């Protein structure tokens, strides 16, 4: 029992920085985006709040990434065969398309309220016909794709944090945007789906498709000069 306890404490210490960064990254986003936001804006002003939010986000993200780099590489829970690599590669393509498309006419981005309302009262276009939270789902699919082919403790912590932040954050965002935008957001919500393809198949638009493919290829290629190894389609080329 003493031996197991020591091993458990040692394992926790090995992952302490990663766990602290993950909890801090997710927790600070939720806290500063929702219960603490109004009070902080009153004290700091809009610009001051954005600066504080950005600093906290980058600090906790740095802690999480640094903790991931320092964490021990545990044995994988399953073997990443070609089938899982294929599924992961396709998920990353969808993730990239959703992310690129989310940058085009997104009422959920921090744009002026009047501009966001003008977008929200229109019919959804591009990736928003797939889901009203394309950026969040892009991040979540990124996390799932990496867990599939690197099923280790450190990956579960890092990607689990990203998935939690993305999907829970998307749900909370619906409530926050309703408070800020009222009927305009209700209209947008009634014509879009939370879950991708929840309203049927939809074409993401040429800009999102082409931009997503370029990002997908570039991200896979970048694994090699960064020393991670061949990833995605480059495993088979």
Please determine, for residue 5, whether its predicted confidence score (pLDDT) is greater than 90: no
Q: What is the pLDDT of residue 7?
A: 55
For 15-31, the DSSP string reads THHHHHHHHHHHHHHHH
Q: How far apart are CA 212 and CA 102, in angstroms?
A: 11
- Report DSSP state, residue 128: G
Q: How far apart are CA 71 and CA 101, in angstroms?
A: 34
Chain centroid, CA 210 distance in Å: 21
- Report DSSP state, residue 59: H
Start-to-end Cα distance in the chain: 50
Residues 6+ apart with CB under 8 A from 223: 229, 230, 231, 232, 234
- Kindly report, residue by residue over 20-34, the tens digit of the pLDDT: 999 999 998 888 877
Q: What percent of the chain has pLDDT over 70?
A: 95
Task: Check if the beta carbon of residue 110 is closer than 8 Å to that of residue 176.
Answer: no
Q: What is the pLDDT of residue 230?
A: 85
Please determine, for residue 10, whether its predicted confidence score (pLDDT) is greater than 60: no
Q: How far apart are CA 8 and CA 70, in angstroms?
A: 18
How many CA atoms are closer than 13 Å to the CA of 149, on its beta-carbon side?
23
- List the beta strands (DSSP E) in 116-178: none
Average pLDDT over the chain reads 89
pTM of the model: 0.88
- Kindly report, residue by residue over 101-117, the tens digit of the pLDDT: 999 999 988 777 788 88
Q: How far apart are CA 156 and CA 154, in angstroms?
A: 5
- Kindly report, residue by residue over 218-234, the tens digit of the pLDDT: 999 999 998 888 888 99
Please determine, for residue 2, whether its predicted confidence score (pLDDT) is greater than 50: no
Mean pLDDT over 120-139 rounds to 94
Structure tokens at 4: 């197991």
């Amino acid at each position: 029992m003493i031996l197991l306890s020591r091993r458990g404490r040692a394992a926790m210490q090995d992952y302490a920085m990663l766990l602290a960064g993950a909890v801090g990254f997710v927790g600070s986003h939720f806290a500063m985006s929702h219960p603490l936001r109004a009070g902080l804006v009153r004290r700091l002003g809009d610009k001051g709040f954005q600066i504080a939010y950005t600093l906290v986000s980058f600090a906790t993200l740095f802690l999480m990434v640094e903790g991931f780099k320092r964490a021990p590489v545990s044995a994988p829970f399953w073997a990443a065969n070609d089938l899982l690599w294929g599924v992961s590669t396709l998920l990353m393509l969808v993730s990239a398309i959703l992310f690129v498309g989310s940058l085009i006419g997104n009422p959920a981005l921090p744009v002026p309220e009047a501009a966001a309302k003008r977008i929200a009262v229109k019919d959804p276009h591009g990736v928003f016909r797939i889901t009203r939270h394309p950026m969040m789902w892009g991040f979540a699919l990124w996390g799932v794709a990496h867990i599939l082919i690197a099923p280790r403790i450190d990956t579960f912590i890092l990607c689990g944090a990203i998935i939690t932040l993305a999907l829970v954050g998307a749900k909370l965002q619906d409530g926050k945007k309703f408070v800020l935008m009222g009927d305009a957001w209700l209209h947008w919500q009634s014509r879009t789906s939370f879950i991708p393809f929840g309203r049927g198949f939809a074409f993401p638009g040429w800009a999102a498709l082409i931009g997503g493919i370029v990002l997908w290829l570039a991200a896979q290629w970048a694994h090699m000069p960064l020393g991670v190894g061949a990833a995605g389609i480059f495993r088979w080329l």
